[in-house]
C-alpha cells in the first residue's frame, strides 16, 4: 500500500516536497492549499509597485503538478490537526495521513495590536500587493484633483514600518516608480514629491546583513529620497495616521506593515512547545517531538539544524526542508523492507541547512548580496539579484514573462502594471 503523505501548503516547502515525491509509486500525495496558486513572495513588492502583474509571480498548483499522477491537489483551508486520529480537518473535507507535512508559512503579526490591521497593509498575499498598488496610484490620482495642500501631502505620504529586506525593497521601488516612471504623467502635482518614510525600531536597517552593507543600503535609500527613522517605533496607528514613540505623528494615506511575522493559524491546534512567533520547535529531522509522523517545513517552524544553526525564514531554506522530507519518507519506506524496520525513526536523516546567502534590492541598479564567500553591492549585486530571481521562478512562462516585463520597464521606464479603477463604495 502506498503511504499517504498529506502536505498543507503549496509554498516553497510544500511544493518542493510534492515535486520530489511525484510519480513515486510508494506514495499517494495530497497537497492542500487555501489558494489555488504557488506564490513567489520575493517579488510581491514588484506587483505592489506596479512593475509586474500577478500572473508573472504566481502559478496554478494544478498546472505545476499536472504531470505528477500520484499527487492530488485540493483547494481547502485546514483548520484542525487531530494527531491522535492522524487526520486533519479542512473547511471542505477531512484528510487522513501516514505522514503529515505542515508547510503553511507565516502571516503578518501586528505584535498584539490587531486593531492596526485595518489601517495598514501587510505584504504576504497577492491581494495585499494589489491593495498597496491601488492605494499608491489612487492617492496620486486624488491628489491631482484636490486643491488642499495639506490633504495632498497626506495622500502623497507613505509610511513603511520595518527596515528588513521587505521594507527596504518596497521603499526603493516606490521612489523608482515616482522618479523614473510617473514624473511626467501628472499636470497639477509633482509625483516626485511622494514622501516615503521608513520606520525602524533598531539602530540600523537590514540587521541580518553585515553593517557595511546596511550602511550602503541606507545611504542609497536616502539618496533616492527615502526618510529613514531609526531607533523609533510605532505606538499607535489610526486611519491615515501613525504615532511614533518619539511623539512624532505622521499623516499618511498608505501605511505598510513590514515589521513582523507569526506562524500560520494552523499551529494553534498543535499541542507542542512554540516560540514567541508561535512557531513550533521541531526535532532536527523536522518532526514534532510529540508526534513522529507530523513534520513541519519552511517558515512555519522553528528549526535548529543538525549543525546547531538556526534556519532563517528564506525561500531556499524552505525548499531544502521540503526536499529533505521527501528524502526522509523515501528512506523510511526503504528501511521498512529491511531488518532495520523497527529502528526507522531513530535512523532518520537529519536536516542540514546549506546557506546560500541573502540579498536585497534597493531601487534600480543597486542591491546588496551577502554570503559566507562574498559581499557584493551596487550594480553587480543588482545583476546577481536579477539572475537568481529569474532562475528561482517556477515555470518557463513565468521566467520569460518576468524577463520581458523587466526589460520593458528598464528600457521604457514605464512599469507595465499600472491599470486599476475606482473601488466600489
Ligand X SMILES: Cc1cc2nc3c(=O)[nH]c(=O)nc-3n(C[C@H](O)[C@H](O)[C@H](O)COP(=O)(O)OP(=O)(O)OC[C@H]3O[C@@H](n4cnc5c(N)ncnc54)[C@H](O)[C@@H]3O)c2cc1C
Residues engaged in binding ligand X (CB under 6 A): 8-14, 32-35, 41-42, 44-45, 77-78, 103-105, 123-124, 165-166, 264, 266, 298-300, 313-316, 318
Q: Which is nearer to ligand X, 87 or 414 (CB)?
A: 87
- Residue in the shown chain whose Cβ atom is closest to ligand X: 11
Nearer to ligand X, 11 or 363 (CB): 11
- List Cα–Cα distances, 310 to 153, 250, 281, 316, 355, in angstroms: 44, 37, 11, 14, 11
Name the minimum Å distance from CB 5 to ligand X: 15
Kindly tell me which of 58 and 189 has the beta carbon lying closer to ligand X. Answer: 58
Give whichever of 8 and 73 is closer to ligand X, judged by the CB atom.
8
- Closest approach, Cβ 90 to ligand X, in A, equals 7
Q: Yes or no: say if 386 and 406 are a contact pair by the CB < 8 Å rule.
A: yes
Inter-residue contact 233 to 110 (CB < 8 Å) = no
**Please, which residue, 33 or 332, has the CB nearer to ligand X?**
33
Minimum CB separation of residue 37 from ligand X in Å reads 8
Q: Tell me the pairing of strands 78-82 and 254-257.
A: unpaired
Task: Provide the CA 405 distance to its chain's centre, in angstroms.
Answer: 21
Taking the complex as a whole, the smallest distance from the CB of residue 314 to ligand X amounts, in Å, to: 3
- Residue 403 has a CB neighbour count (10 Å cut-off) of 14
Q: How far is the CB of 286 from ligand X (least distance, A)?
A: 12
Task: Give whichever of 33 and 176 is closer to ligand X, judged by the CB atom.
Answer: 33
Residue 139 CB-half CA count within 13 A: 25
Inter-residue contact 17 to 326 (CB < 8 Å): yes
Contact 50, 142 (CB under 8 A): no
Give the H or E element holding residue 241: strand 241-244
Catalytic entry in 28, 169, 175, 332:
169
CA distances from 328 to 101, 132, 344, 347 (A): 12, 41, 10, 10
169 is known as an active-site residue: yes
Q: Minimum Å distance from CB 246 to ligand X?
A: 27
> What is each CA distance from 225 to 171, 216, 220, in whole angstroms?
10, 14, 9
The owner of cell 509586474 is 52
The full length of the chain comes to 425
- Residues annotated as catalytic are 169
Amino acid at each position: 500500500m502506498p503511504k499517504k503523505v498529506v502536505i498543507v501548503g503549496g509554498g516553497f516547502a510544500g511544493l518542493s516536497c510534492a515535486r520530489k515525491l511525484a510519480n513515486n509509486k510508494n506514495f499517494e500525495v495530497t497537497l492542500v492549499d487555501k489558494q489555488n496558486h504557488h506564490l513567489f513572495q520575493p517579488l510581491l513588492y514588484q506587483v505592489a509597485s506596479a512593475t509586474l502583474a500577478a500572473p508573472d509571480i504566481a502559478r496554478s498548483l494544478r498546472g505545476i503538478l499536472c504531470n505528477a499522477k500520484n499527487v492530488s491537489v485540493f483547494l481547502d483551508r485546514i483548520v484542525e490537526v487531530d494527531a491522535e486520529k492522524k487526520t486533519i480537518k479542512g473547511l471542505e473535507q477531512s484528510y487522513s495521513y501516514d505522514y503529515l507535512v505542515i508547510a503553511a508559512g507565516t502571516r503578518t503579526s501586528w505584535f498584539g495590536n490587531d486593531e492596526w490591521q485595518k489601517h495598514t497593509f501587510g505584504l504576504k498575499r497577492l491581494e495585499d500587493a494589489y491593495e498597496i498598488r491601488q492605494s499608491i496610484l489612487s492617492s496620486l490620482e486624488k491628489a491631482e484633483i484636490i486643491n488642499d495642500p495639506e490633504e495632498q501631502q497626506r495622500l502623497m505620504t507613505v509610511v513603511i514600518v520595518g527596515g528588513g529586506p521587505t521594507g527596504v525593497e518596497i521603499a526603493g521601488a516606490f521612489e523608482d516608480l515616482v522618479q523614473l516612471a510617473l514624473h511626467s504623467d501628472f499636470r497639477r502635482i509633482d509625483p516626485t514629491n511622494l514622501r516615503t518614510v521608513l520606520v525602524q525600531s533598531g539602530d540600523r536597517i537590514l540587521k541580518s546583513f553585515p553593517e557595511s552593507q546596511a550602511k550602503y543600503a541606507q545611504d542609497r535609500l536616502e539618496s533616492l529620497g527615502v526618510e529613514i527613522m531609526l531607533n523609533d517605533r510605532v505606538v499607535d496607528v489610526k486611519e491615515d495616521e501613525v504615532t511614533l514613540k518619539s511623539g512624532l505623528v505622521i499623516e499618511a494615506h498608505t501605511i505598510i506593515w513590514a515589521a513582523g511575522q507569526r506562524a500560520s493559524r494552523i499551529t494553534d491546534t498543535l499541542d507542542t512547545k512554540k516560540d514567541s512567533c508561535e512557531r513550533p520547535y521541531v526535532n532536527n529531522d523536522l518532526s514534532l517531538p510529540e508526534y513522529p509522523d507530523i513534520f513541519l517545513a519552511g517558515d512555519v517552524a522553528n528549526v535548529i539544524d543538525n549543525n546547531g544553526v538556526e534556519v532563517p525564514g528564506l525561500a531556499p531554506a524552505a525548499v531544502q526542508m521540503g526536499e529533505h522530507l521527501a528524502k526522509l519518507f523515501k528512506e523510511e519506506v526503504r528501511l521498512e523492507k529491511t531488518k532495520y524496520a523497527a529502528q526507522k525513526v531513530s535512523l532518520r536523516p537529519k536536516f542540514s541547512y546549506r546557506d546560500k546567502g541573502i540579498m536585497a534590492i534597493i531601487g534600480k541598479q543597486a542591491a546588496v548580496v551577502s554570503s559566507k564567500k562574498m559581499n557584493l553591492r551596487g550594480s553587480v549585486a543588482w545583476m546577481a539579484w536579477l539572475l537568481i530571481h529569474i532562475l528561482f521562478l517556477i515555470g518557463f512562462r513565468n521566467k520569460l514573462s518576468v524577463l520581458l516585463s523587466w526589460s520593458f520597464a528598464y528600457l521604457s521606464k514605464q512599469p507595465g502594471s499600472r491599470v486599476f479603477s475606482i473601488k466600489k463604495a
